[in-house]
């Protein structure tokens, strides 16, 4: 097997792609890079090129926040941490800051170990695994060792990788097309493989070595989460029912989405962000062992926090359960959860994704035995095109404290990660947007120590770029601003005056009065009277709404105004 490429090759490719705006040219350059890599480097580069250190399904993270990143840069280049922060305020880019400090450093060893792509990944793995006393010091040292071996350009992209903000405009769409181009396989097969195994490294290596046949053989792997199928807003009850020749109606539960993997007695539970939350939900895991039959299964459902009156509790209570690391049993008693299951993706060695919903429902009914106490149950389905029956179900859902209804196509497959027209949601409130927080401003007067206004952005799916849509800040009370400031303080990556750059990994659910066209923001849109509904801790930046969805809502709003 050929040796690993130098990290400088990766940095060179990144620097060449960074100024390019054409998606076609970006994917072509990435394809050229992929063709020359061995299997190990290809698996690593497929993640690195998107600014990911590890694949999304992997329960691993570096655990290096901005403050420790600054410390590593200072240690590597013999500077004071304050000097790093001062330069960062001027550049607004932690990568460029590291690059300049590397250029200026006189603390350069005579002999350093060669910095390869594999060594970089191996060190990242070590950093992620370090725990216990003095773990942060050890992480700082390992990262500083990499930076000492790096040339200035390498330092730029090495540090951006650690910050998970590569800034070169390569998203999942560009990598999909690059893999297809590099190894002469259909892009739709590459995308299908990615949706099934949730790992572009695996998909790229499979495409290289096994071609179409290998990609076609990729399937779900119990214990490895995949992206969940998403719903689209219905244009109304009558229109929604009319979309399908065979519609079925379910309640839209007021809970948090979970994906449950059963492998014998082992149960793993994943959030919508594909975070493993099993240790926080031992009560749900126990219900799965008791009421789900078969050896292996992957189930889709909603965890609902239930109050003493049997009605759903606030969404934040669910997140308290998801986040809980200690005294989990006590929290389970304080905030009991029920599990409503509505789909099954895998059963005893077979993927069910391509089966129609009607068939998957039969599998689900055979697999799950409902709890007489109502702690685990199947979502009730009503197969009907009768508008009065649909309206009755809708009102029942609202009366029970839930959000509305889902209208689904009985003939539809399960399509991971897609917001298609086979699932429609109908709610009484205006649709909200899930937007990424990219920056903030320090307040004034009595709020001068609080981040009081937040930049919000949708996502361009091909490149992963954030497209700004304005700011949200009005209506947020001081106590909530204090909580948000504490949460974002460790995510600050730059400061210029009152403007603060933030690591873009927090999602706000934002309500608004209207979507307007705007030349002031690179999305081309702005929100009129935006207001924060809640922090979507259950969603990652990749789950945020796309520019296509914003455009769709804008067009729908305009059509509604004309009618």
- Active-site amino acid positions: 252
H or E element in which residue 81 lies: helix 81-91
Q: Are 458 and 464 in contact (CB under 8 A)?
A: no
Length of the chain: 563
Long-range contacts of 496-500 (CB under 8 A, 24+ apart): 496/89, 496/90, 496/92, 498/441, 498/442, 498/444, 499/439, 499/440, 499/441, 500/439, 500/440, 500/441, 500/442, 500/451
Could you tell me the CA-to-CA distances from 245 to 352, 393, 454 in Å, in that order? 22, 19, 44
Q: How far apart are CA 509 and CA 420, in angstroms?
A: 20
Q: How far apart are CA 523 and CA 471, in angstroms?
A: 13
Q: How far apart are CA 65 and CA 147, in angstroms?
A: 16
Cβ within 8 Å of residue 122, ≥6 positions away? none
Q: How far apart are CA 61 and CA 68, in angstroms?
A: 14
End-to-end, the C-alpha distance of the chain in Å comes to 65
Residue 447 has what DSSP assignment?
A: G
Could you tell me the CA-to-CA distances from 523 to 93, 191, 456, 546 in Å, in that order? 22, 25, 11, 10
Q: How far apart are CA 337 and CA 271, in angstroms?
A: 14
Nearest alpha-carbon partner for 345 in 417, 287, 433, 253 = 417
Residue 350 has what DSSP assignment?
A: E
H or E element in which residue 283 lies: helix 282-291
Q: How far apart are CA 504 and CA 163, in angstroms?
A: 10
Residue 390 has what DSSP assignment?
A: H
Nearest alpha-carbon partner for 398 in 496, 312, 305, 337 = 312
Backbone angles phi, psi at 394, to 5 degrees: -60, -45
Positive or negative, the Cα torsion across 496, 497, 502, 508? Answer: negative
Burial level of 121, CB count in 10 A (0-12/13-18/19+)? Answer: buried
């Amino acid at each position: 097997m050929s040796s690993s490429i130098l990290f400088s090759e990766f940095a060179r490719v990144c620097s060449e792609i960074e100024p390019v705006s054409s998606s076609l040219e970006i994917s072509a350059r990435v394809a050229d890079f992929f063709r020359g890599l061995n299997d190990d480097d290809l698996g690593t580069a497929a993640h690195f090129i998107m600014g990911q250190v590890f694949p999304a399904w992997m329960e691993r993270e570096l655990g290096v926040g901005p403050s420790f990143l600054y410390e590593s840069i200072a240690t590597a280049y013999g500077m004071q941490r304050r000097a790093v922060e001062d330069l960062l305020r001027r550049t607004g880019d932690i990568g460029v800051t590291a690059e300049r400090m590397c250029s200026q450093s006189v603390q350069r060893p005579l002999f350093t170990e060669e910095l390869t792509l594999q060594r970089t990944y191996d060190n990242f793995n070590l950093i992620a695994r370090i725990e216990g006393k003095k773990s942060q010091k050890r992480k700082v040292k390992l990262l500083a060792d990499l930076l000492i071996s790096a040339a200035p350009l390498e330092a730029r992209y090495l540090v951006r990788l650690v910050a998970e903000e590569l800034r070169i405009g390569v998203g999942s769409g560009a990598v999909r097309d690059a893999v297809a181009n590099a190894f002469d396989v259909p892009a739709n097969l590459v995308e299908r493989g990615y949706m099934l195994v949730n790992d572009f490294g695996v998909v790229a290596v499979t495409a290289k070595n096994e071609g179409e046949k290998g990609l076609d053989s990729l399937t779900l792997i119990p214990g490895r989460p995949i992206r969940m199928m998403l719903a689209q807003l219905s244009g109304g009850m009558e229109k929604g029912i009319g979309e399908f020749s065979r519609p079925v109606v379910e309640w839209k539960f007021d809970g948090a989405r979970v994906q449950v993997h059963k492998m014998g007695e082992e149960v793993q539970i994943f959030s919508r962000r594909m975070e493993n939350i099993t240790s926080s939900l031992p009560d749900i895991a126990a219900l799965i062992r008791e009421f789900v039959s078969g050896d292996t299964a992957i189930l889709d459902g909603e965890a609902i926090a239930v109050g003493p009156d049997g009605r759903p509790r606030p969404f934040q209570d669910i997140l308290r359960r998801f986040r809980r690391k200690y005294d989990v049993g006590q929290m389970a008693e304080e905030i009991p959860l029920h599990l409503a299951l509505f789909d099954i993706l895998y059963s005893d060695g077979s993927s069910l994704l391509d089966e129609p919903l009607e068939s998957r429902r039969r599998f689900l009914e055979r697999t799950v035995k409902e709890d007489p106490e109502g702690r685990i149950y199947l979502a009730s389905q009503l197969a009907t095109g009768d508008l009065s029956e649909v309206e009755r179900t809708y009102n029942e859902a609202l009366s029970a404290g839930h959000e509305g209804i889902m209208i689904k196509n009985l003939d539809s497959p399960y399509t991971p990660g897609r917001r298609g027209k086979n699932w429609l949601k109908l709610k009484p409130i205006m649709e909200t947007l899930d937007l990424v927080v990219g920056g903030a401003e320090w307040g004034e007067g009595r709020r001068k120590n609080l981040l009081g206004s937040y930049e919000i952005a949708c996502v361009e799916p091909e490149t992963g770029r954030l497209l700004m849509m304005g700011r949200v800040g009005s209506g947020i009370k001081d106590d909530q601003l204090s909580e948000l400031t504490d949460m974002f303080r460790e995510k600050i990556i730059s400061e210029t005056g009152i403007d603060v750059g933030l690591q873009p990994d927090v999602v706000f659910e934002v309500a608004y009065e209207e979507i307007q066209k705007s030349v002031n923001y690179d999305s081309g849109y702005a929100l009129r009277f935006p207001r924060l509904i809640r922090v979507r801790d259950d969603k990652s930046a990749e789950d945020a709404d796309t520019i296509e969805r914003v455009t769709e809502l804008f067009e729908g709003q305009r059509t509604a105004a004309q009618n």
